[in-house]
Structure 1
Amino acid sequence: MRRARAGLLLAIALVLLAIGAAYHWRRSRQAREVPPAPPRLPPDTAALSSEWTYTQYAGERPLVEVRASKMRQFRSPDQIQLDNVRLRIFDADAGTYHLVQCQRAVFNLARVELASEGEADITLHLSLAQSPEKPRVRIRTSGLRLDVRTGKVTTEQTVRFEFGSSRGVSVGATYEPGWHELRLHRDVMLDWPGASPNSPPLHLEAASLVYKDDQDKVYLPAPVRFRRGGFLLQASQAVVTLNRGSLERIDAEKAQGQHDYPPIEVRYAADQLVVEFGPNFQLRKVVGRGVAQLRATSKGAIKQLRSEQLFLDFAGEGGETRLAAALALEKAELRSWLETETESRRAFRQLRSEVIKLVMAPGGREIQAIETHAPAQLVVGQAGSEEQLTVEAERLWLYYAPGNRLRQLRAARARTLQETRPTATEQRVPIVTQSDDLLAEFDATGRVIQRIEQWGRFRFEQGPRKAWANKAEFDQQTNRVTLTEQARYEDPQLRLRAQQIQWVRDQSRLEANGQVEAAWLGPSSPKKTEAGPLDFDRPIYGAAARLWTEEQQTRIFLEGQAIVWQAGHRILAHRIEVDRSTQRLTARGDVDCRFTLEEAKAKPATARLIRVRAPELDYDGQARRARYAGGVRLEQQDLQIEAEKLHVMFASKPEADGSSSAASRVEQLIAEGRAVIRRQLGASRRILAQAERAEYDVSRDRTRLIGGRPRLEDSTKGVTEGHELIYLARDDKLLVDGTEQQPALSRLRR
C-alpha cells in the first residue's frame, strides 16, 4: 500500500517537472522571438505607418479610397503626410473610377482634403471590370487639391492633359466626379491628331473648357478657335459633341468659319452654327441659323449667300472634303460679282427667294447650278451701265459652265422687267414681259445675256406697246425681239397678228411673217375732209404673207398676196407700201382694187362697186389721186376702161360730223396709152370709145377722146372718128373736131 502511494507521488512529481520544463522552454523561445522595440517617434509625430489605406463612404458605397506606401501623422496641425499615393475616386455606379497618383501628398484631417505640391497624375474613367472603357483622360499637373468627401480635384498650375490620342495644355483645372465635369480654367490649347501621320491635327484654342464625361461633350463658354489645314472656326462660345473621343459635332454661337481648298475659299457665319464631322475630322455639314451667310470665292468670282437658315454639305475622300451644296432658307439673298472689278463698274447678280440652293460641280471647285424652290427675284446688271434686268419667277435655275461662268438662266412662270437709265433728253420706258417659261443664255464671259427665250402665254409691254405670243425670243446683241406661234402686236398706231412678229428695240422697224393681219391708224384730224378709196385718218386694215415698217411705223410694207382694205375699199397686190406721213399708197404686182363708189347723179346717192386691175398703183391721199400703170383694166357695172395708164381723181364728201363717208366719189378718170372705154347704155345700146388718151368726167358723164385716131362706136348710131371726140352721155351728144390731116368721119347705122 505504501509502495503504491510512493509510486503515485513520484509520477505526479515527474509530470510537474515535465510541465515546468516545457513552460520554461516556451518562455525562453518567446523571449527570443519578440521584435525589438520601435524607435521613439519624433516629437511632432503622432503615428507612422506603411501601406496605409483610407476609404470615404457615401452610405455603403465607397466614394474615395486613398492608399499610400508610407503614412506619417503629425500632432499639429492635424494632418497626414503620404508617400507614393494612389487615390481612387469611384463613380456613382461603382463600375468605373478615376485614379490620382503622386509621390507625396498631405492629408488635412480637419478639412478632409488631400494636397500635393509636386507632380501629380490623374487618369479618368478606369474600369473596375473588364468592360470596354471610355476614351482615357489623363492629366499631369502640380499644386493639386482634393476634397476627399466629394472627390473634387482642383489646381491652378499648368495642366497637361491627354484625351485618347489628343494632347493639350491649360492653366488651372478642376474635376468634380459628382458632376462628371472636368473644367480647364484658362488658356486652353488642344490638338486632336489625324488618322494618319500625314493628316494634319485639329487645333483648339479656348479661353476655358468644360468636359462633361457623362454627356461626352466639351463646353467652351468663352471665345474659342478651331483650326485644321484650310478649316477655321471662331466663336464666342461652343459645345463639342464627341463620339468615343472623336470629334463629331460643334455647336457654336456668334461663329465664323472658313474652309479653303485652292482655288476655292469658303467663308460662313451665323448667330448659331452647327458643324458636323465624319471620320478623321472630315467636314460633312454646316448648319447656320439667325443671320447666316456664306461667301465663296473662286478665280476672282464671288458668291455671297445670306439667309435666316443656312445648310452646307461637304463631300470628299482621303481626308479632304469640299463644298458640295448649300441650301438657304428664309429671306435668302445671293449676290455675285467679280473680285477684280471696281465697285463703280462691277457686274452683279442679285437673287432673292425663301429657298435658294447652290450645287457645286463634282470635285467642289466650281459651281454647277443655283436653284430656288420658292418664288424668286433675280436682278442682273452692271454698276454704271444703262440697263438692268429683273426676273421674277415661281421657280428659277442658274446653270454654270467651266470656270464658274454663268451659262443659262431658266425660270418658270416668269415676269421680267428691263429698265434703261433715262438720258438728259429722253425718258426710257421699261419693258415688262410675262411667260410660263423663260430661258436666257449668257456670253462666253458669263456676264452678258446674249439671248432670252420665253414660251407659254407670253406677254410683252413697253408703255403703250404690247405684244402676245406662245413663244418669244430676245437677241440682246441685235436688240431684236421675235414672236412666234399666234403672235400679236399692238401700239397706238398699229395692230398685228401673224405667225411671226419681230422688231428691233428702240428702233422703228417692225416685221411680221406668215398669215399677217394688220390694222393701223394715222394721226387724228377730225377736220380733214379729204377722202378717197383710203382715208388715212381712219383705221386701215391689211393682210399679207409678210409685213414690215420703217420710219417710226409711218411707212408700212406688205408683201406676198398683200391686201389693204377700209370699209368697202380693197387693194390686192404682190407688194403694197403705205406711207402714213405723206398719205401715199404704192402697190406693185397684179394690183386688184375694188372700191365702193358713190353715184353722184343718183337721188338719193347710191354706192356702186368699181374694180381696177393693173401691175402698178400709186395713190396720193392728200391729192386724192390714184395712178395705175402697166396695163390697166377698170370694171364697173356698165363701164369698162382699158389703157396703159389710168388716173383716178376722187372728190371728198364730208359728213355732218366732219368725217368722210365710207363710199368715195370718183370725180374724173383719165386713161392714157391705147385707151379703150366700153359703156352699156340701156339694155341694147353699147358705146365703144378708143383713143390714145381718154378723159371721163364722172359728175358730168362726159367722155373726151384725144390722141392717136379717136374713135367712138355706138351700137345704134354708128362709128365716128376725128381729131378729138367729146361724148355727152346725159344729152346723148357727140362733139367732133377734125383737122386737115384727120378729118372727121362718121358712119351711121340705119
Structure 2
Amino acid sequence: MLRRARWILLVAILVLATFTTRLFLTQRQAMREARPKLSAALPSNTTAAGILFEHEIASGGKTKALVRARNFRQIKEPNVFLLEGLEMEINDETGSSYHLVKSQSAVFDIPQGSMFSEGEAEITMNLPRQGEPARPPLRIRASGMTFDSQTSRVSTGQKAAFEFDGGRGEALGAMYDPNTHELGMHADVRLEWEGRNGGSPMQVEASKLIWRETGDEIYLSAPSKLTRAAFTLEAEKDSIVILRDGGIERLEARQAHGSDRPPGRRIEYQAGFLIVHFTGNSQVSKVEASEPARLVSTNAASATTITGERIDLEFDTSKPESVLRRAQAHGKAQVEARDLKQGAIRYLRSETVEMTMRPGGEEIQEVATHAPGEAEFVPAKPADKRRLVNGERMSFTYGPANALEKVRVVEAVTRTFTPPKPGGKDKKTSVAITRSRDLEAYFDPQTGQMTNLEQWQNFQYEEGPRRAVAERAILDNQREIITLRDQARIWDETGSTSAKEIVLEQATGNMIALGDVNSTRLPEKKQSAAGMLSPGEATQAKAGRMSVSDDSRKILYEEQAVLWQGARRIEGRTIVIDRAAQTLEARGNVVTQMPEQAPKTAFTVVRADSLHYSDKTKQAFYRGGPQGKVVLERPALNVSSRTLRAWFMTVPKKGGGEETQLDRMLCEGDVRMSGNRNGRSRNGEAETAEYYPSEERLELYGGNPMVNDSARGISRGARITWLAREDRLIVDNTGSGLAVSRIKDNKKK
C-alpha cells in the first residue's frame, strides 16, 4: 500500500514540476515579448533624440516664446536641435495675444537663441489668448525664415507671401518685430486689396514697405505705385498708407503723379504732396493735392487744366467706381480750358476756384471763384479780339461736351483788345474797358465764341477817347453792337450825348440815341468861317432820337429836335447835319432863331416846313410846303412867303474873334408883311421882299407891292422900302426914280 502510494506521489510531483516549468516558460516568453525593444544606436554627432519637444524662452520673469515640436534631435556640434512639426508662440508685451509660427522642420540653436526654417513657414499675427480674432489676422508664408529669441524678430530674405484682412501680397524678404509691431517688406513689394460690393481690387507696389500694426500705417519706400482699375498713382518719394477696418483709408505721397481713365476722357494729376482718401470699398472719395498741384481733364472736344498751390477733389462713391464730383483749387489757382476743335483758350485765375461736375463726372457743370478773379479769352485767330474780365466773384456755366454757355461776374471790369485791321489807318491794338456791378455773358456752344454780353448797375465804358455810362449795357458780339439803357450817356473829345437808350456800332462807330436825347458838340479844333452855326462855339441839341454815322460826320436828330448855340436855335421834327457836305437840313415845323447884333435881346425868327443850309455858300433856304408858308418874325415885323433864302456873314467880335450875323434875307412868293410900331400898324404885300437886319430895312417889289398904313392909308409902287428904325416908307412910283412919302407922327407932343 505504501509502495503504491509512493509511485503516485512521484507521478504527482512530476506532473506538478512539468506544469510549473511550462508556466514559467510561457510567462518568460510573454515578458520578453512585452519588454520594449532596444533603440537603435544614435547616429554620430547626435546627443539625444525624442518626441514632444517643448522649450520656454523667458526674459525678466516673463515668457517671451514657447517652442513645441512633435519630434526633436539634439546635435553635438553645432549644439542645435532639429525640430519637426514646429509650433512656436511669440508673446506680445502684455501677454494677451501672441504670434503663431508653424513649420514642418526647423533648426533651433538654444545657446544662440535663434531658430531657422529652411522650408516654408507660416506666421499668424495677433491671435488672442481668449476668444476669436476680431478680424482675419495677418499671415505670412515664406521659406528661409529666422527667429531671434533675443529680439523676438522673425525674418526671411526669400520671397514671402502675405494674407491680410481684405487682401494679399508678396515681397522679396520680410521681417516682423513683435516689440514694435512692425512688419517690414524689403524689396519688390506687391499688395492687393480685394474689391468690395462689386468694386475693383486695388494694387500697391513699392520698393520697400513697413507695416505698423499699432497705428494701422504702411510706409512705402519710393518708387511706389497704387492702381485701381484705370486709376493709377505713382510717388517718387516715400509714402504712407493709413488702414481702417482692413481697408485703405488714406494714402499720403510726395512727388506724386498719376492718371484715371473714366469713359470718354482722361484725367492726369501731379502734386508735391498728395493725400488720397478711400472708402471701405477701396473707392477714392477725396484727394488733397498741394505743394503745388496740377490736374488735367481731356476729352475729344476740350482739355481742362487746373493748377494751384492746393487742389481738393471730391468724388461720388454711390456706384462701384467713384467719379469726380467737385474740384477746388487754392492759392494762385488757374483753370485753363482749351478748345481742341476751334483752338480758342480760356483762362480763369483766382485765389480759390471751384469746379462742379455734372452727374456721372464726365462733364463740367460750373466753375466758380470764391475770391477776386480774372478770366482771359484768347481767340483761335490772332486777328480776333482778346478779352480780359476781372471780378469779385465769377461763375462759368457749361453745357454738354464741356461747352461754355454762360459767364456771371460781380463787380466786373472787362478789357477787350482789338488788333489793327490789315491796311487800316490804326496800327496799334485798341483797348475797350467796361465796368459794372453785374455781368452776364452768353456763348455759342458750337464755336465757343461769345454771342451776347450784358452788364448792369453803374455801367461804364472806355475806348480811346470815347467814354460811356448807363445803368445797363448789352453787347451783341456777332453784330458788334453795344446798347446802353437807362440814364445812358456817351462822350469823347468832340462832345457828349445822353438818352434813355444809346446804341453803338463798334465796327463803324455809328451811334443811335433814343428817348430824351441831349447832345453837346464841342468847338472844333480846325475852325472854318462861321455860318448859320459857328464852329467856334459848342452846339447843343435835344430830340426824341439821334443817329450818328459816317465817322461822326453825319448826325440825324428826329422827333421834335432842337439845336442851339447860345441864342442861335433851330427846331424841327428832323434835323440832319452832314459835316462832309457842310450842310444842315431841317424838316417839319422848322423854327430858327438868330440873335440881333443890336440890341442883344432881339432875335430874327423864321418858321418854315423845311430848311436847307450850306456852309460852303453860307446860305439857308426855307420852304413853306404845299400849303404852308415861311414866316419871318422880327421885333414889330412879320413877313410870310412861300420860300425864304438867308445869307450869313462873319463880322468882328468885340473883345477879339469873329461871330456870325445875318447879312440879308430874300422872301419869294406871295409875300405878306405886317408891322406894328408906336401904335401904328402896317400891312403890305408883294411877290418878293428883301430884308437887311443890320439896317432894319425891308424892300417889297414884284407883283404890285402895297403897304397899308393904319394912320395914312394905302401906298403903292414898283418898289416900297420900309426903314423900320427911322419909321418911314420910301415908294418908287415911276420906276425911274424914287418917290418919298414921309409918314408923320400924329401924336401930340
- Counterpart CA distance in 2 for 1:68 and 1:589 is 125
Other-structure match for 1:229: 229
- Counterpart CA distance in 2 for 1:279 and 1:133 is 17
Other-structure match for 2:539: 540
Q: After the TM superposition, which of the residue ranges 555-564 and 610-619 deviates more from structure 2?
A: 610-619
Whether contact under 8 Å (1:719, 1:747) holds in the other structure is no
In the TM superposition, what are the counterparts of 1:585-600 in structure 2 within 5 Å? 585-599=584-598
Whether contact under 8 Å (1:578, 1:584) holds in the other structure is yes
Whether contact under 8 Å (2:75, 2:81) holds in the other structure is yes
Structure 1 residues 42, 746: CA separation in 2 closer, same or farther (over 3 Å shift)?
Answer: closer
- Counterpart CA distance in 1 for 2:379 and 2:641 is 65
Indicate which of 359, 375, 387 corresponds to 2:372: 375
- SS in structure 2 opposite 1:413? strand
Q: How high is the TM-score relative to the length of structure 1?
A: 0.89
CA shift digits 1:714-740 (9 cap, x unpaired): 333332333433445548352325579
Other-structure match for 1:48: 49
Opposite residue 642 of structure 1, the aligned amino acid is S
TM superposition shift of 1:712 = 2.1
- SS in structure 2 opposite 1:552? coil
TM superposition shift of 1:177 = 1.1
Other-structure match for 2:676: 680
- Counterpart CA distance in 1 for 2:170 and 2:603 is 111
Opposite residue 653 of structure 2, the aligned amino acid is E
CA shift digits 1:504-542 (9 cap, x unpaired): 01313111001111001352246x55354x212211000
CA shift digits 1:16-39 (9 cap, x unpaired): xxxxxxxxxxxx9xx999867655
Q: After the TM superposition, which of the residue ranges 198-207 and 434-443 deviates more from structure 2?
A: 198-207
Other-structure match for 2:117: 116
Structure 1 residues 120, 688: CA separation in 2 closer, same or farther (over 3 Å shift)?
Answer: same
- SS in structure 1 opposite 2:499? strand
Structure 1 residues 199, 531: CA separation in 2 closer, same or farther (over 3 Å shift)?
Answer: closer
| Structure 1, gaps ≥5 residues long | 1-27, 600-604
| Structure 2, gaps ≥5 residues long | 1-27
Opposite residue 701 of structure 2, the aligned amino acid is I
Other-structure match for 1:511: 512
- SS in structure 2 opposite 1:130? coil
Structure 1 residues 586, 632: CA separation in 2 closer, same or farther (over 3 Å shift)?
Answer: same
Other-structure match for 1:204: 204
Other-structure match for 1:619: 613
Whether contact under 8 Å (1:170, 1:186) holds in the other structure is yes
How many aligned positions are there?
Answer: 704
Other-structure match for 1:570: 569
Other-structure match for 1:241: 242
Opposite residue 53 of structure 2, the aligned amino acid is W
Opposite residue 567 of structure 1, the aligned amino acid is G
Other-structure match for 2:396: 398
Whether contact under 8 Å (2:718, 2:731) holds in the other structure is no
CA shift digits 1:545-602 (9 cap, x unpaired): 1001111112211111111111112222111112334443211101122332123xxx
Other-structure match for 1:708: 703
Whether contact under 8 Å (1:56, 1:149) holds in the other structure is no
Other-structure match for 2:12: none
- SS in structure 2 opposite 1:330? strand
The answer on 1:325 being equivalent to 2:326 is yes
Whether contact under 8 Å (2:301, 2:341) holds in the other structure is yes
Whether contact under 8 Å (1:332, 1:352) holds in the other structure is yes
- Counterpart CA distance in 2 for 1:110 and 1:400 is 76
Identity across the alignment (%): 32
The answer on 1:668 being equivalent to 2:667 is no
- Counterpart CA distance in 2 for 1:547 and 1:530 is 24
CA shift digits 1:159-185 (9 cap, x unpaired): 111112412222111111112111111
CA shift digits 1:77-131 (9 cap, x unpaired): 1211111110111111211111111111111233211011111111112111115
CA shift digits 1:252-308 (9 cap, x unpaired): 111112222211322221111111111321211111011101111233211100001
- SS in structure 1 opposite 2:281? helix
- Counterpart CA distance in 1 for 2:268 and 2:59 is 53
Other-structure match for 1:495: 496
- Counterpart CA distance in 1 for 2:64 and 2:257 is 44
- SS in structure 1 opposite 2:119? coil
Opposite residue 216 of structure 1, the aligned amino acid is D
Q: Which runs of 4+ in 1 moved over 4 A?
A: 31-40, 737-740, 744-750
Other-structure match for 1:646: 644
Other-structure match for 1:17: none
In the TM superposition, what are the counterparts of 1:6-45 in structure 2 within 5 Å? 40-45=41-46
Other-structure match for 1:359: 356
TM superposition shift of 1:336 = 0.6
Whether contact under 8 Å (2:675, 2:681) holds in the other structure is yes
CA shift digits 1:143-196 (9 cap, x unpaired): 111102221111111111111241222211111111211111111222222125
Whether contact under 8 Å (1:127, 1:133) holds in the other structure is no
TM superposition shift of 1:492 = 1.0
Q: How high is the TM-score relative to the length of structure 2?
A: 0.89
- Counterpart CA distance in 2 for 1:322 and 1:290 is 24
Structure 1 residues 182, 98: CA separation in 2 closer, same or farther (over 3 Å shift)?
Answer: same
CA shift digits 1:623-663 (9 cap, x unpaired): 433222111112222111111111222332222554335xx
- Counterpart CA distance in 2 for 1:249 and 1:745 is 121
- SS in structure 2 opposite 1:205? strand
- Counterpart CA distance in 1 for 2:661 and 2:206 is 102
Other-structure match for 1:7: none
- SS in structure 2 opposite 1:403? helix
Structure 1 residues 748, 514: CA separation in 2 closer, same or farther (over 3 Å shift)?
Answer: closer
- Counterpart CA distance in 1 for 2:740 and 2:685 is 14
Structure 1 residues 481, 210: CA separation in 2 closer, same or farther (over 3 Å shift)?
Answer: same
- Counterpart CA distance in 1 for 2:55 and 2:743 is 166
Opposite residue 626 of structure 1, the aligned amino acid is A
The answer on 1:220 being equivalent to 2:220 is yes
Whether contact under 8 Å (1:719, 1:746) holds in the other structure is no
TM superposition shift of 1:135 = 3.5
Other-structure match for 1:8: none
CA shift digits 1:38-71 (9 cap, x unpaired): 5553341222232111111232322111111122
Indicate which of 678, 686, 691 corresponds to 1:691: 686
Opposite residue 636 of structure 1, the aligned amino acid is R
Other-structure match for 1:23: none
TM superposition shift of 1:748 = 11
TM superposition shift of 1:359 = 0.2
Opposite residue 408 of structure 1, the aligned amino acid is K
Indicate which of 623, 629, 638 corresponds to 1:629: 623
- SS in structure 1 opposite 2:651? coil
Whether contact under 8 Å (1:703, 1:726) holds in the other structure is yes
Other-structure match for 1:6: none
TM superposition shift of 1:688 = 2.1
